[in-house]
A = this chain, B = another copy of it.
Amino acid sequence: MRDMTSSSFDSRLDAYAELLVRVGVNLQPGQKLIVRADVEDAPLVRKVVDIAYSLGSPYVEVLWGDGLVSRSRFLKGPEGSFGIVPEYRAQGMIQLAQEGAASLAITSEDPDLLADVNPENVAEFQAAWRKAVRPYMELSMRDAIQWCVAGAASVGWATKAFPGVPEQEAVERLWDAIFTATRITTDDPVRRWREHNEQLRSMRERLNERRYAAVRFKGPGTDLSVGLADGHRWDGGESKTPAGTTFVANMPTEEVFTAPHRERVDGVVRASMPLSYNGTLIDDFTLTFEGGQVVKAVAGKGQKVLDSILDTDEGARRLGEVALVPASSPIAQAGILFLNTLFDENAASHVALGRGYEMTVEGAASMSEEEKRATGLNDSLTHVDFMIGSAEMDVDGVKQDGTTEPLMRQGAWVS
């Protein structure tokens, strides 16, 4: 068994921190940085901060959180109190983003952390927090700032992803899986990411040329047609700010994705993996869509949480994203159910309920809210991905004239 304090682990963590700062948020000289992380992520965060200052950042704001402190609140806080949110923290994020700071979020949460918590408490908090932080979210969701979400192994997460494995070993295995998924184990991670971004770029350009009206998913329990927004653009891999600075918003990322039309989704879709949402697992669930809207949602586990997502607002019952990921992706091949969307969504094709991304509709950045809505781009306070793809999934592109062509067969790209 390897030692977490070994020089090999430490040098991989160094390489990972370097990748997140240089490729993930691609921090520019003189640029501030926001880091959001759990107190357990301190070893990674310290390296990130050190690299940022070495690159000449004038200020790094680390906004720490702690899963167990949150859990304590949601379990024991008094009824009606969960709408109290740290508005000044939101103000700090908004102010720094408006000043042009880049933003790195580290995710390491225990997927089961809030399993025994009343989901209404969490929903009450989430609604208030999303409202407080909305100006920040708008900047990041339209790529006005460089942002990146990446993972860090924690005891709570690792022991859920590797049930039955001793704590320390589970953490090591999860770090290994994270390092593999983010190409840290290769000889030259930065170069590998450049090549990988290039591949995703060529795939999205191919899809953009075809101008499909819809994509259609067929697999066990699923027969779903996802109409695409007018003027939709496939995106994936590297993103770009208006000033032209590139960044990688998710690490890992293996997807190409675009905007569904908010009124043109029909059929039934069965999730191919459990979904960990705000510390609760939703599993074995099927959604039925009519005219873009979820008209039925049944979960074997986590029904209340699923309902609370759908009840966020009108847009939460519609799709904001459709993404294609081959079953050959390194994350799928690892054969691990990470129980963390950042990773699991890069193991399988997926869709997301809620808000769509502006950059996935041509010209949306300069449209009014009504114009954006008219293209079919969805709006909501939430955005929740869930996985639908697998090695048994076929995907067709549906052309404007109704004819189809195969995109994926048995989860693999048709070239």
Contact = CB atoms under 8 A, between A and B. Distances in A.
Interface string A133-160: 0000000000000000000000000000
A84 interface: yes
Interface stretch (A87-95, A290-298, A346-354, A360-368): A87-95
A248 to B, nearest CB: 24
Given A58-B84, A89-B92, A42 B39 contact: yes
B91 A73 contact: no
A81 interface: yes
B72 A58 contact: no
Contact of A46 (B49, B61, B68): B68
Contacts of A84: 58-59
Contact of A76 (B45, B50, B65, B89): B50
Given A45-B69, A72-B46, A88 B77 contact: no
Interface in A67-89: 68-69, 72-73, 75-78, 81, 84, 86-89
Given A53-B73, A72-B46, A88-B89, A62 B58 contact: no
Contacts of A39: 39, 42, 64
A133 to B, nearest CB: 12
A5 to B, nearest CB: 12
A60 interface: yes
A326 B277 CA distance: 57
A54 B58 CA distance: 41
A76 B89 CA distance: 25
Nearest to A92: B88
Contact of A73 (B42, B49, B56): B49
Interface residues of A, number: 36
Given A77-B59, A81-B58, A46 B69 contact: yes
A155 to B, nearest CB: 12
Nearest to A68: B46
Nearest to A43: B68
A56 B77 CA distance: 7
A66 interface: yes
Given A39-B39, A42-B66, A76 B88 contact: no
Contacts of A45: 66, 69
Contact of A78 (B58, B81, B91): B58
A86 B95 CA distance: 10
Contact of A86 (B53, B65, B86, B92): B92
Contacts of A58: 77-78, 81, 84
B61 A86 contact: yes
B72 A49 contact: yes
Contact of A88 (B42, B62, B88): B88
B62 A66 contact: yes
A105 B248 CA distance: 38
Given A58-B81, A86-B92, A88-B89, A53 B66 contact: no
10 contacts: A39-B39, A45-B66, A46-B68, A49-B69, A53-B73, A53-B76, A57-B77, A88-B89, A89-B92, A91-B91
CB-based closest 10 A-B pairs:
A88-B92, A64-B64, A53-B76, A39-B39, A58-B81, A88-B88, A59-B84, A88-B91, A50-B72, A46-B68
Interface of A: 39-40, 42, 45-46, 49-50, 53-54, 56-62, 64-66, 68-69, 72-73, 75-78, 81, 84, 86-89, 91-92, 95
Given A58-B78, A62-B69, A88-B89, 17 more contacts: A40-B42, A45-B66, A45-B69, A49-B73, A50-B76, A53-B75, A54-B76, A56-B78, A59-B73, A59-B81, A59-B84, A60-B73, A62-B66, A87-B92, A88-B88, A88-B92, A91-B91
